[in-house]
Structure 1
Amino acid sequence: MLDDLAVILFRPKYPENIGSVARACLNMGVTRLILVAPYNLDLDKARPLATSHARHILDTALVVDTLAEAVQGFTAVYGTTARTGGWRKGIMSPATLAGVVDERLRSGGRVALLFGPEDTGLTNDETSICSGLMTIPTSREGTSLNLAQAVVVVLYECFKRALDAPFTPDGPPEERATTVQEQEALFENLRETLLAIDFLKDDNPDYWMLPVRRFFAKINLRRNEFNLLMGVCRQVRWFVDRHAPKR
């Protein structure tokens, strides 16, 4: 899905952050990680943060000495920055960048996302090679994100845009819609329960059930909700049978 998207970490300082970035890449379907002159490439410290699942991304990461080597072969490179203003104009949000990246990838391009050192970020010279810049909005009390946090935010937006259809989680079987037969069973149970607590009138309970039926007609009742209401009715009738005076 994002086979032609890569993450470049420029002079990352901490191996733990490198490991966490590898895990973020795995989570969002990115397998290419490029490290430019890391200060401390201690894989023994990085692997626990990558977890066993993303270890292959960490172990196959390309390590180069210069930024020029890192961006070789890409058709577009987008840098990240926490600093705005000055000559850094037209800075995109992660969602806007994701749209641009998606368009590039679908047209056959190869795109890299460039992240600077944890303490200083990218300099003006380093961002000069970028096709565009992106910043992650934060509260004013904390404008600096952990490196792995920044990576996962951007990749999440790219992952969403790369989907051919909106993501919808598969619900468990009990969350299916109820059938007409199940709805009728619930109405009968509600009818008997509401009669037991004198909410409905004995003379014509079916008539007084009409507003209840109309109410449920507005709801796409799910099977788990059906089970919940059936259980409430059962418990109410048990309590009435045990504690209420006989009528």
Structure 2
Amino acid sequence: MTQIGQPTQPAFVLVRPQMGENIGAAARAMWNFGLDRLRLVRPRDGWPNPAAGALASGAGRLLDEATLHDDLAGAVADCNWVLATTARPRELTKPVLSPERAMQLAAKRIAAGERVAVLFGPERTGLENDEVARANAIITVPVNPAFPSLNLAQCVLLAAYEWQRQKGGFAHEIDRPGKHHWATAIEVEKLAQHYEERLDQAGFFFPEAKAENMKVNLRNLWSRMRLTQADVQMLHGIMRQMVRWKERGD
């Protein structure tokens, strides 16, 4: 159980959550991104709550292992750094962080041996000022100011996603050739030669004064295309078939 020993991730603390369904959805959002340290402070409908399991959808272990606390002080008693999520402006002097920056700092502190907690308030009102006052910093999401309210699971999902990004190995772009290999330079060169020869025979490079520049542009076209070996074979086949069709027509 990951809550025993030195943690390698932050604890997510749901403060006075109202509906079991939302607790289950929050657990699901956490487990989507590999987080499983869930703490509950005075759930409105008591705990355990059968309604939570239906929305957890495969993350039921988090509900089984969640720790229950009578107050916020007890829920964060072992933590060195506490973050409070809120969408409302607060008249409190605290650092205000984006989810990305908050999780960057959380990752550094946890790597240094500290324990970190992230607080999420109840669905209807969010965290109270005295609860936010216990935190070392605030996480605020740049939402639409005319409609800043996020439901509990959405807020948990945002924080969990940013945590996953900070763990490293997050691919911002994946460029794979599928089941085929990328074409080599010589394969693309032969394709270019094939098309240039056939187009030349068809009289495509006309007028002669522009022919050389047209060939350069065609070569540039091939170099800009990310071709697999299967793509090259298909393009060769297209040109061969077009030539055969023309010859049969003649």
Same fold (TM over 0.5): yes
Task: Measure, in 1, the Cα distance between the counterparts of 2:56 and 2:69.
Answer: 20
Q: Is the 8 A contact 1:81 1:122 kept in 2?
A: yes
2:57 pairs with 1:51: yes
Q: Percent identity?
A: 32
Unaligned runs of 5+ in 2: none
User: Could you tell me which of 82, 88, 109 is aligned with 2:87?
Assistant: 82
User: Could you tell me which of 213, 219, 224 is aligned with 2:219?
Assistant: 213
Change in CA separation of 1:237 and 1:86 when aligned onto 2, cut-off 3 Å: same
Shift of 1:172: 5.2
Q: Secondary structure at the match of 1:4?
A: coil
Task: Measure, in 1, the Cα distance between the counterparts of 2:62 and 2:120.
Answer: 17
Change in CA separation of 1:61 and 1:194 when aligned onto 2, cut-off 3 Å: farther
Task: Measure, in 2, the Cα distance between the counterparts of 1:196 and 1:118.
Answer: 72
User: Could you tell me which of 171, 177, 187 is aligned with 1:167?
Assistant: 171
Change in CA separation of 1:172 and 1:234 when aligned onto 2, cut-off 3 Å: closer
User: Could you tell me which of 10, 28, 35 is aligned with 1:30?
Assistant: 35
Q: Secondary structure at the match of 2:119?
A: strand
Task: Measure, in 2, the Cα distance between the counterparts of 1:56 and 1:215.
Answer: 54
Residue of structure 2 in register with 1:156 after alignment: 161
- The RMSD of aligned alpha carbons is 3.3
Q: Which amino acid aligns with 1:18?
A: I
Change in CA separation of 1:99 and 1:44 when aligned onto 2, cut-off 3 Å: same
Shift of 1:177: 3.4
Which ranges of 4 or more aligned residues in structure 1 deviate by more than 6 Å? none
Change in CA separation of 1:16 and 1:170 when aligned onto 2, cut-off 3 Å: farther
Unaligned runs of 5+ in 1: none
TM-score by length of 2: 0.80
The alignment of Structure 1 onto Structure 2 pairs a total of residues equal to 240
TM-score by length of 1: 0.81
Q: Which amino acid aligns with 1:8?
A: V
Q: Which amino acid aligns with 2:171?
A: F
Change in CA separation of 1:172 and 1:51 when aligned onto 2, cut-off 3 Å: farther
